Chains A and B, each alone.
Chain A
Amino acid sequence: MRDVAVVSFAQSPCQAANRRDDMADILLPVIREAVYAAGIGRDDVDFVVSGSHDFYEGRTFSYIESLDAVGAWPPISESHVESDAAWALAEAWSWLQLGEGDIALVYGIGRGSLPADLDQVVPAQLDPYFLAPLAPHRDAIAGLQAHAAIEAGLTSEQGMAEVVVRCLDAATGNPLAQRSGQVDVARLLDAPYVSSPLREHDVAPIGDAAAVVVLAADDAARRLAERPAWVRGLDHRMDTHYPGVRDLTTSPSTRRAVGRAAELAGFTTSDVDIAELHTEYSHQEAILTNALELNGAVVNPSGGPLAGRPVTATGLIRIGEAARQIRDGNADRALAHATSGQALQQNLVCLLEGDG
């Protein structure tokens, strides 16, 4: 395996609704920042790969517009995933293993604010014959999962509120967060349910942002970053689709992914200092912590998605934030997690490490 590292990361501020910038306008400054921080030019990039989804943009082939911010001229080697951009990073990592190039640019765009009502959109992610016609509320399946998690003794409404308090407090140190502040548990628990037992604060606030990660291999990584965040292990796995046949209180795909990632990395999650988890709901932290067997790691020091969830950019931001902790010297080993689908159906785990 080639050694591949995150050598820079940039993102735009998570905004509840960015009504000023189009897709390319959101992206361009972020690409510039990431490329500048890596000390490279556009021509140094060997491969470009991105993640976004048409159902958030409301039109077909929407990602084509973002290529105007990449400068695909002269022609470039390029690919795209129609899902969270963490999967784009996985593709870039695979591509760098080929040895055909040393530097890959990964970007994600997520604009959750464009759909007028996500209740119209989210059910389309379900089996079109059996589940989508039921048109469940956007948070309904998460509500089922949260209820099951509480029943199983993994968490409680109090515990979920405590997760939110911790994340929003951590987000006060993250100028790009959409939501942050000091709040108290009792006040949160006074709020009404949006999808029992979930309250508004339990649901990651959806918004708009773009994120960019530059990956580099071997000597290029050592040249471009003072302390590269080496991707030591990366894997992703899929669970069955049907919420009705899954044990929603566990995440077998996360467990499998972290097992394989740890095998590649040569260290386990008990060695991890920080973890950035793609928690779309507060109760998922307990499920993920179990599946990942996290032990003492600081979870979501950036505030995590509960402080801002720019849909298909959210998972890539987790990897960028975990890498930032290593690159800043705050952690030697870090874990990043990304998810796609309802109730954690598909999960990705990335293990990162700084030079000793």
Chain B
Amino acid sequence: MSRRVAVTGVGQSKQAKRREVSIGAMVREAVTEAMADAELTFADIDAVVLSKTPDLFDGVMNPELYLADAMGAVGLPVTRVFTGGSVGGHAAIFGAHLVQAGLAERVLVVAYSKESEGNFTWALSRGLPFSAPLGAGAGGHFAPVIREYIRRSGAPEHIGWQVAVNHRLNAVRNPYAHVHRPDITVEEVRDSRMLWDPIRYLESCPSSDGSCAIVVTGEEHAGHTPRPSAWIHGMAWRTETGHFAGRDEVNPVAGQQCAADAYRQAGIDDPAAQVDVAELYIPYSWYEPIWLENIGLAEVGGGWKLVEDGRTMFDGALPVNPSGGVLSGNPTGATGLLRFAEAALQVRGLAGEHQVDARRAIGHAMGGASQFHALWVVGSEKPEAAW
């Protein structure tokens, strides 16, 4: 039943506060671009998967209903996936599963967020019932984990600043990125406002509007366009319960197992050596070393040394987030799919100014309190066998 699956179309909107377009029009920007890239019309699409973070963020319940027309989804199966911030990755994988299982030939995966239209503060400040309103804020859940990582690894504090600079400089090469700061320096990050100590302002992601879409197809339908395909070599998702004794949020087991499963499918036994580029879900700069270790691209405790040595910079041996990543644009519902899509662009050789030398790339997404993990490995060459 299983067969080879490829990404043949990628589209995205400009990430920014997009007050000049409606939700539908912004979603359509990415869809149109992906369809044009794949050289398909809506009649060629068999199913649509929509990725979106909480509907309360922008006030539209079940947006797949309102967006049916904008996504070209009338008459098609539409599945609305939601698993926290990793949702874009889950949606891409589910779309690929439909093709792999032979239930669809071509699937359009769509993702967006337009939080500038909702009262984001209201949605978040409602808080959880029965929890104390401590005023921790969004970063208040990640900052203590980062502090624990720094304590364990003994990493120097400038690592976080350096990652922030690397990603922002990468973003200058990406016209879709929200944040463009070509003159950013380590000193500027160091001197930026402390938000959630140890997280500074310039070490944090923005809130963006934006959309992303990809087309995944079966092997028989790849190669129809002059542009190369990105072949899926492995993909996996894992979830772990949020709060129980002994859970390690710094190096969550679900993330380790998720990556290991995808590598196994891809025939990768030394990911650090066999992967050329990674698009990782890094909303705060310290998550670069944290995820590098978690998904086996660095030894535990050694992720920060890759940053220190410049290996994860644009010109390094293992560039991380050449697109600029989440630190340079964060439309939450689309953020995960953007990582998966950017990985595909890299191995297709279509990443434009932020293209690096890549035959094999990782797309990665994470959600909740590091409970939800999704990862795929894509390559420029067809995998040897369908797994």
Q: A94-B101, A238-B73 are in contact. Are A80 and B79 (CB under 8 A)?
A: no
A157 touches B (CB below 8 Å): no
Q: Is A98 in contact with B97, judged by CB distance below 8 angstroms?
A: yes
A68 touches B (CB below 8 Å): yes
B194 touches A (CB below 8 Å): no
Q: Is A345 in contact with B65, judged by CB distance below 8 angstroms?
A: yes
Task: Tell me which of B32-40, B82-90, B356-364 binds A.
Answer: B82-90
Q: Which residue of B lies closest to A256 (CB)?
A: B75
Q: A78-B238, A98-B97 are in contact. Are A235 and B77 (CB under 8 A)?
A: yes
B123 touches A (CB below 8 Å): yes
Chain B residues whose CB sits within 8 angstroms of the CB of A83 once the complex forms: 62, 64, 80
Chain A residues whose CB sits within 8 angstroms of the CB of B100 once the complex forms: 98
Flag A146-190 by CB within 8 Å of B: 1 or 0 each. Answer: 000000000000000000000000000000000000000000000
Flag A81-124 by CB within 8 Å of B: 1 or 0 each. Answer: 11100010011001101110000000000000000000001001
Q: Is A64 in contact with B371, judged by CB distance below 8 angstroms?
A: yes
- Report the 3 A-B pairs with minimum CB-CB distance, sorted nearest first: A97-B101, A75-B254, A82-B82
Give A61 to B56 CA distance when docked, in angstroms.
10
Q: Is A78 in contact with B83, judged by CB distance below 8 angstroms?
A: yes
- Give the interface of A toward B (CB within 8 A): 1-2, 48, 53-55, 58-61, 63-64, 67-68, 70-83, 87, 90-91, 94-95, 97-99, 121, 124-129, 132, 235-242, 252-253, 256, 340-342, 345-346
Chain B residues whose CB sits within 8 angstroms of the CB of A70 once the complex forms: 241
B124 touches A (CB below 8 Å): yes
Q: A59-B126, A60-B124, A72-B240 are in contact. Are A81 and B79 (CB under 8 A)?
A: yes
Q: Is A82 in contact with B103, judged by CB distance below 8 angstroms?
A: no
Flag B333-367 by CB within 8 Å of A: 1 or 0 each. Answer: 00000000000000000000000000000000000
Chain B residues whose CB sits within 8 angstroms of the CB of A239 once the complex forms: 68, 74-75
Say which residue of A75, A94, A125, A236 sits within 8 Å of B65 (CB atoms): A125
Q: Is B69 in contact with A61, judged by CB distance below 8 angstroms?
A: no
Q: A71-B241, A77-B238, A79-B94 are in contact. Are A94 and B62 (CB under 8 A)?
A: no
Chain A residues whose CB sits within 8 angstroms of the CB of B242 once the complex forms: 64, 67-68
A-B contact pairs, 28 of them (CB 8 A): A60-B124, A61-B368, A64-B84, A64-B368, A68-B242, A72-B240, A72-B371, A73-B241, A73-B247, A74-B240, A74-B257, A75-B239, A80-B81, A82-B52, A87-B79, A94-B94, A97-B103, A128-B60, A235-B77, A236-B78, A238-B64, A239-B68, A241-B65, A241-B67, A241-B68, A342-B65, A346-B64, A346-B78
Give A5 to B227 CA distance when docked, in angstroms.
41
* A80 shortest CB reach to chain B, Å: 5
Q: Is B238 in contact with A76, judged by CB distance below 8 angstroms?
A: yes
Q: Is A72 in contact with B241, judged by CB distance below 8 angstroms?
A: yes
Q: Which residue of A lies closest to B74 (CB)?
A: A240
Q: Which residue of B lies closest to A96 (CB)?
A: B101
Chain A residues whose CB sits within 8 angstroms of the CB of B103 once the complex forms: 94, 97
Q: Is B1 in contact with A2, judged by CB distance below 8 angstroms?
A: yes
Q: A97-B103, A124-B61, A235-B77 are in contact. Are A67 and B241 (CB under 8 A)?
A: yes
Q: Which residue of A lies closest to B52 (CB)?
A: A82
B128 touches A (CB below 8 Å): yes
B119 touches A (CB below 8 Å): no
Q: Is B77 in contact with A236, judged by CB distance below 8 angstroms?
A: yes
Q: Which residue of B lies closest to A95 (CB)?
A: B97
Give A54 to B1 CA distance when docked, in angstroms.
35
* B251 shortest CB reach to chain A, Å: 13
Chain B residues whose CB sits within 8 angstroms of the CB of A125 once the complex forms: 60-62, 65-66
Q: Is B102 in contact with A53, judged by CB distance below 8 angstroms?
A: no
Q: Is A78 in contact with B239, judged by CB distance below 8 angstroms?
A: yes
Chain B residues whose CB sits within 8 angstroms of the CB of A97 once the complex forms: 1, 101-103
Give A73 to B2 CA distance when docked, in angstroms.
28
Q: A82-B62, A129-B22 are in contact. Are A238 and B81 (CB under 8 A)?
A: no
Give A252 to B76 CA distance when docked, in angstroms.
11
Chain A residues whose CB sits within 8 angstroms of the CB of B76 once the complex forms: 237-238
Chain A residues whose CB sits within 8 angstroms of the CB of B280 once the complex forms: none
Q: Is B75 in contact with A73, judged by CB distance below 8 angstroms?
A: no
* A116 shortest CB reach to chain B, Å: 14
Give A248 to B124 CA distance when docked, in angstroms.
37
Chain A residues whose CB sits within 8 angstroms of the CB of B142 once the complex forms: none
B139 touches A (CB below 8 Å): no
Q: Which residue of A lies closest to B70 (CB)?
A: A241
B310 touches A (CB below 8 Å): no
B179 touches A (CB below 8 Å): no
B320 touches A (CB below 8 Å): no
Q: Is B238 in contact with A90, judged by CB distance below 8 angstroms?
A: no
Flag B33-54 by CB within 8 Å of A: 1 or 0 each. Answer: 0000000000000001000101
Chain A residues whose CB sits within 8 angstroms of the CB of B286 once the complex forms: none
Chain B residues whose CB sits within 8 angstroms of the CB of A75 once the complex forms: 238-240, 253-254, 257-258
Q: Which residue of A lies closest to B101 (CB)?
A: A97
Q: Is B254 in contact with A128, judged by CB distance below 8 angstroms?
A: no
Q: Which residue of B lies closest to A97 (CB)?
A: B101
Give A76 to B239 CA distance when docked, in angstroms.
5
Q: Is A99 in contact with B239, judged by CB distance below 8 angstroms?
A: no
* A350 shortest CB reach to chain B, Å: 13
Say which residue of B56, B78, B83, B128 sits within 8 Å of A80 (CB atoms): B83
Q: Is A81 in contact with B66, judged by CB distance below 8 angstroms?
A: no
Q: Is B98 in contact with A94, judged by CB distance below 8 angstroms?
A: yes
Say which residue of B2, B69, B82, B372 sits within 8 Å of A81 (CB atoms): B82
Give A34 to B100 CA distance when docked, in angstroms.
29
Chain A residues whose CB sits within 8 angstroms of the CB of B90 once the complex forms: 79
Give A330 to B9 CA distance when docked, in angstroms.
48
B129 touches A (CB below 8 Å): yes
Q: Is A60 in contact with B238, judged by CB distance below 8 angstroms?
A: no
* A245 shortest CB reach to chain B, Å: 9
Chain A residues whose CB sits within 8 angstroms of the CB of B78 once the complex forms: 236, 238, 346
15 extra A-B contacts, CB within 8 A, seeds A73-B244, A76-B238, A241-B69: A54-B56, A55-B55, A58-B126, A61-B84, A64-B371, A72-B241, A73-B240, A76-B240, A78-B237, A79-B237, A80-B82, A97-B1, A235-B77, A241-B67, A340-B62
